[in-house]
């Protein structure tokens, strides 16, 4: 806790004429910020007898917590899974460009790669706070290589691995040190997955189920061992069947540890999931839905061929395929496009659509006191949106880090 003296000197910023997302509702309230955090104006009024030093008129816009993308493979030509010499500058470029999509924190994602790539790349992507330089890095998401051959999707078959021999030691040997790792996606039907899941969860790493042919029972056991997320629901897993719902059945399972529910990623780009399927998932379990982009390096670039992991990708309009096939290869829809599409496809409330991109991923990662929320004490990472949920401006720690052209004077 800072000393009262320091705080007293820091300027207080008051965002007025806005609606803020707080307590699950859009309230007609002002947002007060000091030292990069959201503060309680009532406390300022009665205890410090303080008014704001600066007021900013938000033109009647919506202020939502900054979006958090927990699955993004690159963008703007940058591929996080490439063992480049300067991975850091690639991450920084993406971090800066996604500010215009309203994303204030993200998990750079690496697809199935050989151990050399992990050993080279991971140490170059440290956890980092966001700011004018770009969105904050919450940690890396490792999607693979411990996944199902049958459901590998766009992942290269040559680099798939198992941990049957040495369980967690195999994991460490493959990835190297796990300091910068935040999420690991694996297939729970692989031998000794329970030990691995427990070991990862014990280190505070979020374990996600995906690229898997697991049945519901295997999935439930994985959750009981500590798995908390499903990677891009419906994609790269067995389809829902009424006698064995598979991983999808986790949304309504009654065998989860008490007081816990499953979170699940959804790519709401209009391509990866039929709107009817999106609605089924949303209606079955709205509080667990996490919007992800699963964006590939082609995000933000035009049509043509680009690199993803160890493979080539073909971009055609709003869709990306594994070159020469009809297999989807990630999405190129920015996060704010996903939020709008999700809202329109499900007919859900604006509040829930915004929470799916902010509060829910924060809850998944156990960060909901500081991120994904506009509660007092949280980091002042927020996005200014018009009524159709287009991004007008992005703020990190109370500082303007991006602004739409029309908004600039």
Binding-site annotation: residue ranges: 143, 154, 211, 232, 235-236, 243, 272, 328-330
Which residue in 15, 41, 66, 72 binds another protein (CB under 8 A)?
41
Of 34-42, 61-69, 106-114, 252-260, the segment contacting another protein by CB under 8 A is: 34-42
**Does residue 224 have a cis peptide bond before it, meaning omega lies within 30 degrees of 0?**
no
Q: How far is the CB of 366 from another protein (least distance, A)?
A: 26
Residue 23 class from Cβ within 10 Å (0-12 exposed, 13-18 middle, 19+ buried)? exposed
Question: Given the complex with another protein, which of 42 and 179 has the nearer CB atom?
Answer: 42
Which residue in 40, 150, 316, 387 binds another protein (CB under 8 A)?
40
- Main-chain phi, psi angles of 207, to 5 degrees: -100, 130
Give the x-and-dash track for 330-349 against another protein (CB under 8 A): --------------------
Which residue in 8, 23, 45, 179 binds another protein (CB under 8 A)?
45
Which residue in 24, 43, 169, 260 binds another protein (CB under 8 A)?
43
Question: Given the complex with another protein, which of 50 and 390 has the nearer CB atom?
Answer: 50
Q: Any contact of residue 42 with another protein (CB under 8 A)?
A: yes
Of 35-43, 203-211, 212-220, 377-385, the segment contacting another protein by CB under 8 A is: 35-43
Of 38-46, 189-197, 227-235, 263-271, the segment contacting another protein by CB under 8 A is: 38-46
Strand 206-209 with 227-230, pairing: parallel
Q: How far is the CB of 31 from another protein (least distance, A)?
A: 12
Number of residues that bind another protein (CB under 8 A): 12
Strand 140-143 with 103-110, pairing: parallel
Q: How far is the CB of 54 from another protein (least distance, A)?
A: 14
Active-site residue 30, yes or no? no
Mapped onto helix, strand or coil, the DSSP state of residue 41 is helix
Of 42-50, 130-138, 166-174, 256-264, the segment contacting another protein by CB under 8 A is: 42-50
Q: Any contact of residue 377 with another protein (CB under 8 A)?
A: no
- Main-chain phi, psi angles of 287, to 5 degrees: -75, -15
* Residue 402: closest CA among 344, 353, 334: 334
Question: Given the complex with another protein, which of 30 and 215 has the nearer CB atom?
Answer: 30
Determine which one of 69, 79, 269, 294 is catalytic: 294
Query: What is the distance between the alpha carbons of residues 72 and 97, in angstroms, rounded to a whole number?
Result: 13
Using CB under 8 A as the binding rule, the residues of this chain from 14 to 33 that contact another protein are 30
Q: Any contact of residue 46 with another protein (CB under 8 A)?
A: yes
What DSSP letter does each residue of 193-245 carry, written as one string? HHHHHHHHHHTTPEEEE-SB---HHHHHHHHHHTEEEESSTTTTBPPP-SS--
Using CB under 8 A as the binding rule, the residues of this chain from 48 to 107 that contact another protein are 48-51
- Which element (helix H / strand E) includes 75? strand 74-75
- Which element (helix H / strand E) includes 309? none
Strand 74-75 with 37-38, pairing: unpaired
Question: Given the complex with another protein, which of 45 and 274 has the nearer CB atom?
Answer: 45
Answer for the pair 147, 213: CB distance below 8 angstroms, yes or no: no
Annotated binding site for substrate, which residues?
Answer: 154, 235-236, 243, 272, 328-330
Mapped onto helix, strand or coil, the DSSP state of residue 337 is helix
Residue 331 class from Cβ within 10 Å (0-12 exposed, 13-18 middle, 19+ buried)? buried
Question: Given the complex with another protein, which of 40 and 312 has the nearer CB atom?
Answer: 40
Q: How far is the CB of 49 from another protein (least distance, A)?
A: 4
Query: What is the distance between the alpha carbons of residues 229 and 207, in angstroms, rounded to a whole number?
Result: 6
* Residue 182: closest CA among 147, 136, 148: 136
Mapped onto helix, strand or coil, the DSSP state of residue 299 is coil
Question: Given the complex with another protein, which of 42 and 150 has the nearer CB atom?
Answer: 42
Of 43-51, 178-186, 288-296, 379-387, the segment contacting another protein by CB under 8 A is: 43-51
Question: Given the complex with another protein, which of 27 and 400 has the nearer CB atom?
Answer: 27
CA 62, 65, 71, 76 torsion-angle sign:
positive
Binding site for another protein (CB under 8 A): 30, 40-46, 48-51
Residues acting as catalytic residues: 294
């Amino acid at each position: 806790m800072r000393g009262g003296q320091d705080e007293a000197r820091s300027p207080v910023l008051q965002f007025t004429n806005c609606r803020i997302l707080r307590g699950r509702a859009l309230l007609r309230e002002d947002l007060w910020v000091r030292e990069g955090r959201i503060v309680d104006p009532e406390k300022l009024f009665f205890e410090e007898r303080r008014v704001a030093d600066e007021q900013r008129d938000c033109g009647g816009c919506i202020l939502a917590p900054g979006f958090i993308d927990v699955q993004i493979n690159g963008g703007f030509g940058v591929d996080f899974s490439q063992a480049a010499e300067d991975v850091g500058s690639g991450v920084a470029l993406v971090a800066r460009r996604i500010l215009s999509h309203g994303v204030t924190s993200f998990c750079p994602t690496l697809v199935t790669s050989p151990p050399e790539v992990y050993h080279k790349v991971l140490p170059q992507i440290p956890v980092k706070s966001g700011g004018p330089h770009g969105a904050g890095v919450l940690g890396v998401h490792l999607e693979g290589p411990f996944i199902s051959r049958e459901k590998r999707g766009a992942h290269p078959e040559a680099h798939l691995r198992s941990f049957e021999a040495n369980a967690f030691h195999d994991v460490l040997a493959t990835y190297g040190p796990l300091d910068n790792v935040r999420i690991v996606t694996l297939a729970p039907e692989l031998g000794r997955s329970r030990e691995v899941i427990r070991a990862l969860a014990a280190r505070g790493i979020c374990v996600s189920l995906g690229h898997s042919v697991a049945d519901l029972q295997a999935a439930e056991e994985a959750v009981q061992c500590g798995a908390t997320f499903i990677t891009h629901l419906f994609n790269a897993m067995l389809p829902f069947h009424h006698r064995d719902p598979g991983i999808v059945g986790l949304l309504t399972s009654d065998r989860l540890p008490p007081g816990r529910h499953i979170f699940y990623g959804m790519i709401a780009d209009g391509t990866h999931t039929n709107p009817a399927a999106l609605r089924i998932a949303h209606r079955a379990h709205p509080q667990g839905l996490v919007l992800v982009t699963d964006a590939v390096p082609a995000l933000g670039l035009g049509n043509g061929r680009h690199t993803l992991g160890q493979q080539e990708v073909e971009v055609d309009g709003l869709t990306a395929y594994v070159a020469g096939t009809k297999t989807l290869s990630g999405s190129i829809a920015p996060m704010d496009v996903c939020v709008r599409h999700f809202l329109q496809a499900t007919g859900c409330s604006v509040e829930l659509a915004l929470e799916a991109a902010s509060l829910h991923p924060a809850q998944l990662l156990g960060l909901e006191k500081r991120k994904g929320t506009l509660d007092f004490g949280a980091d002042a990472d927020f996005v200014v949106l018009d009524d159709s949920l287009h991004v007008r401006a992005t703020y990190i720690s109370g500082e303007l880090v991006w602004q739409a052209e029309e908004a600039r004077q």
